[in-house]
Amino acid sequence: MNNLINKINFYHSVVFFLLSGSLSIIINRFESLIVSPVICLLFILSIGISHGALDNQKGKKLTQLYNIKNSYFFYLMYSVIVIGIITFWLLFPTTSLIIFLIVASYHFGKEDTEFLIKNKNASYLILYFLKGSLIIIAPLMFHFTETINIFKLLLIHDENFYLFLDFIESNQILLFALLTSLLVNIYFFINNFKFLNILIFLDFLSIVILNYLVSPLIAFTIYFCFLHSFRHSISLINELDKDNFENGAYIFIKKALPLTLLTSIFFVISLYFLSNYYQLSDAILKVIFIGLASLTFPHILLEYLLEKNEK
């Protein structure tokens, strides 16, 4: 079964590389006609967030590990963290954004690479962060002004923060960070080398091409839905049924659908509320990124606690 999963991951990276390249060229020429923030939101609410839609199943497992009889305690704590993150963002947006970018970089680097790694140590925490930081570096490097405008829509009004970003952009620090991320990818490629490792470079090139040719929101949507979420979903399907991938996929869809729909409803309600005060495109950006931040923290905490107890 592991060989099958490796083949799926490999061909997925090849297809994603070809797809991201061709889509980027088409969207680059006709972006205003075929892509809108609404479409990005729909993809994120369906394919994107579904990879975390089994958190309720993992929560039940965690409550059992901690001998908590009432599984609803997990839902309560998960909701409290989500609401707490949103509240903290509204009170301290700059600090929240910085923490989110750091945590997200680590999360993306870890989940996009971990299935290739056998022997891990503490240094991989930093390596995962440096690899995943490409998702943050690339839009800043190729679409600096547009990325800054997104930050401003996320309630970031700290002038010192923007002066710092101007400093790193004008002094080629972003290029240095990009090269550092590339070096980490090279390390993962040659460490415990196998042919499957080539997908590391395919993923790297795909992300660079996406961010070079299309806007930050579209580049993130394609990456988040069709690389990050899809790959994590493959690992979840494998966990659900290690012997039959098709059956695992069926179980995954069945189990993920309720929480995906529930989360989407909350996103849409939030969008309806915000659209009364902001333009629709601006409201969508707020819902996507602040909403994803509020889900990312409890999702990562849940994964950490499960891994800790399994060890």
pLDDT, tens digit, for every residue of 11-51? 999 999 999 989 888 888 876 656 689 999 999 999 999 88
Sorted by sequence, the CB contacts under 8 Å of residue 310 that are 6+ apart come out as none
Question: What angle (nearest 5°) sits at the alpha carbon of residue 184, between those of residues 182 and 186?
Answer: 70
Amino acid at site 218 = I
3-state DSSP of the chain:
CHHHHHHHHHHHHHHHHHHHHHHHHHHHHHHHHHCCHHHHHHHHHHHHHHHHCCHHHHHHHHHHHCCCCCCHHHHHHHHHHHHHHHHHHHHCHHHHHHHHHHHHHHHHHHHHHHHHCCCCCCCHHHHHHHHHCHHHHHHHHHCHHHHHHHHHHCCCCCHHHHHHHHHHHHCCHHHHHHHHHHHHHHHHHHCCCCHHHHHHHHHHHHHHHHHHHCCHHHHHHHHHHHHHHHHHHHHHHHHHCCCCHHHHHHHHHHHHHHHHHHHHHHHHHHHHHHCCCCCHHHHHHHHHHHHHHHHHHHHHHHHHHHHHHHC
- Phi and psi torsions of 72, nearest 5°: -65, -15
How many angstroms separate the CA atoms of 186 and 138, rounded? 18
pLDDT value of residue 14 = 93
Q: Give the confidence band of 311 by pLDDT, cuts at 50, 70, 90.
A: low
* Averaged pLDDT, 221-244: 91
Structure-block tokens of residue 134: 């490409």
Task: Tell me the pLDDT band of 308, cut-offs 50, 70 and 90.
Answer: confident
Cβ atoms within 10 A of the Cβ of 292, count? 19
Which pLDDT belongs to residue 34? 60
CA 202 to chain centre: 18
Tally the residues of the chain. 311
5 or 161, greater pLDDT:
161
How many whole angstroms separate alpha carbon 254 and alpha carbon 250?
6
pLDDT at 33: 58
Contacts of 208 (CB under 8 A, 6+ apart): 134, 138
pLDDT at 140: 97
Q: What is the pTM of this model?
A: 0.93
User: What's the confidence (pLDDT) of residue 79?
Assistant: 93
* Residue bearing the bigger pLDDT, 201 or 66: 201
CA distance 71 to 61: 9
**Predicted confidence (pLDDT) per residue in 253-283, tens digit:** 999 999 999 999 999 999 999 999 999 999 9
What integer best gives the mean pLDDT of the chain? 91
Q: How many CB atoms lie within 10 A of CB 160?
A: 8
pLDDT tens readout for residues 176-199: 999 999 999 999 999 888 888 999
Whole-number Å distance between alpha carbons of 169 and 178: 12
- Is residue 165 pLDDT above 90, yes or no? yes
Q: What is the pLDDT confidence band of residue 1, given thresholds at 50, 70 and 90?
A: low
pLDDT digits (tens, 9 = 90+) for 67-92: 888 878 888 999 999 999 999 999 99
